A and B are shown apart, each in its own frame.
Chain A
């Protein structure tokens, strides 16, 4: 899977090796392209990582872009290609994070407020109001949340989302449909409650 080959090649080493190959004349163009990608995509990458519960999402965001830089010269498809590659790397980082957490669970004191498994009641959802719409995403399944965040936060197309998740377009379409139906039910309940 993508996550394995990313983990086997440290991003820092790749960047250093590429830095020594900076003699080519398009080095400045590469830096400019990388800067544009960072300006455009870094907020989305950070939000995507935060929504999936990655520890220290800011640091992982930087790692994602370091890994992106080493692969940027080989990217085809301009903006769409860079965007898909960036979120493929971020997706791999999320997969790695959850695998590592499974292998080595961290032992912390239980704090009910910090428990993400908490299911909000209708009253709580109403109380949240407009303050944190992102909390609604925790009422979705993992795959549904993944598909929806890639479409909404990362602004990927259906094909790009399927490519990042490593699933078929039909499977992603099914996931996003269920996620949207769940969200619509929550909103309808909220409106009916008002």
Chain B
């Protein structure tokens, strides 16, 4: 510890001055008696725990950059595919097939026969007035018809009276929710 002091005294030819040597040692001891506590910033730098945090930040940035590159590649690929007429026609065929499969209840089929087409007429009541569909008569139920036909009562016979005419009165069905039944 006192090497520098003794060295300095030797440099100046004062090695034999014990009082001066003790004075310098006392000065050093007094000047360095306080050990400062590291501030928060300094303590963070002294701690190895700072490193994983930095690594996580770098890894997050890498994930973002990788995601952007993947999205960019997908965009370029989609643009190139859209520019090709072969790909367009194949895509249209595929889309049509998917629509057919979904619309036919899971089984790929040819166009719907005329006999199974939805009947857009309501079922007539006993009084002859057209009735409105019950809650169970929702479009497309029961016969696997293609969606988009909004005709209720698809299970009604095709020879029902009043076929082709819309309901005369929009009075709700007795079984319709939210309405009281009037016998």
**Hey, which bits of chain A sit against chain B, CB under 8 A?**
12, 15, 19-20, 22-23, 27-28, 31-32, 34-35, 38, 42-44, 46-48, 50-51, 58-59, 61-62, 65-66, 69, 130, 132-134, 136-137, 149, 151-153, 155-158, 173, 176-177, 180, 183-184, 187, 191
| Residues A35 and B46 in contact, CB atoms below 8 Å apart | yes
| Residues B46 and A38 in contact, CB atoms below 8 Å apart | yes
Could you list 9 examples of A-B contacts with CB < 8 Å?
A31-B46, A134-B30, A136-B23, A153-B27, A155-B3, A155-B4, A176-B8, A184-B19, A187-B23
| Residues B4 and A133 in contact, CB atoms below 8 Å apart | no
Pick the residue among A22, A46, A149, A191 that contacts B36 (CB under 8 A).
A46
**How many whole Å from B59's CB to the nearest CB in chain A?**
10
Q: Let me know if B55 is at the binding interface, CB within 8 A.
A: yes
**How many whole Å from A120's CB to the nearest CB in chain B?**
15
Minimal Cβ-Cβ distance residue in A for B17? A184
Contacts A42-B38, A66-B45 known; list 6 others, CB within 8 Å: A20-B57, A22-B50, A31-B46, A69-B45, A136-B27, A176-B11
| Interface positions of B from 1 to 49, Cβ below 8 Å from A | 1, 3-5, 7-9, 11-12, 14, 17, 19-20, 23-24, 26-28, 30-36, 38-39, 41-42, 45-48
| Residues B20 and A183 in contact, CB atoms below 8 Å apart | yes
| Residues A62 and B39 in contact, CB atoms below 8 Å apart | yes
- A15-B38 contact in complex given A23-B54, A43-B32, A152-B24, C-beta closer than 8 Å: no
Pick the residue among A69, A134, A158 that contacts B11 (CB under 8 A).
A158
**How far is A46 from B1 in the complex, measured between Cα atoms in Å?**
18
- A66-B42 contact in complex given A43-B35, A46-B34, A184-B20, C-beta closer than 8 Å: yes
Contacts of A133 in B (CB 8 A): 23, 26-27, 30
Majority-rule SS of A interface residues = helix
- A180-B54 contact in complex given A32-B48, A149-B31, C-beta closer than 8 Å: no
Contacts of A191 in B (CB 8 A): 19
Q: Let me know if B64 is at the binding interface, CB within 8 A.
A: no
Q: Mark B97-136, 1 if CB is under 8 A from A, else 0.
A: 0000000000000000000000000000000000000000
Q: Let me know if B88 is at the binding interface, CB within 8 A.
A: no
**How far is A57 from B54 in the complex, measured between Cα atoms in Å?**
31
| Residues B35 and A180 in contact, CB atoms below 8 Å apart | no
Contacts of A38 in B (CB 8 A): 38, 42, 46
**How far is A173 from B28 in the complex, measured between Cα atoms in Å?**
19
Contacts of B14 in A (CB 8 A): 180, 184
Contacts of B55 in A (CB 8 A): 22-23
Minimal Cβ-Cβ distance residue in A for B41? A66
**How far is A146 from B32 in the complex, measured between Cα atoms in Å?**
16
Minimal Cβ-Cβ distance residue in B for A18? B45
| Residues B41 and A156 in contact, CB atoms below 8 Å apart | no
**How many whole Å from B40's CB to the nearest CB in chain A?**
9
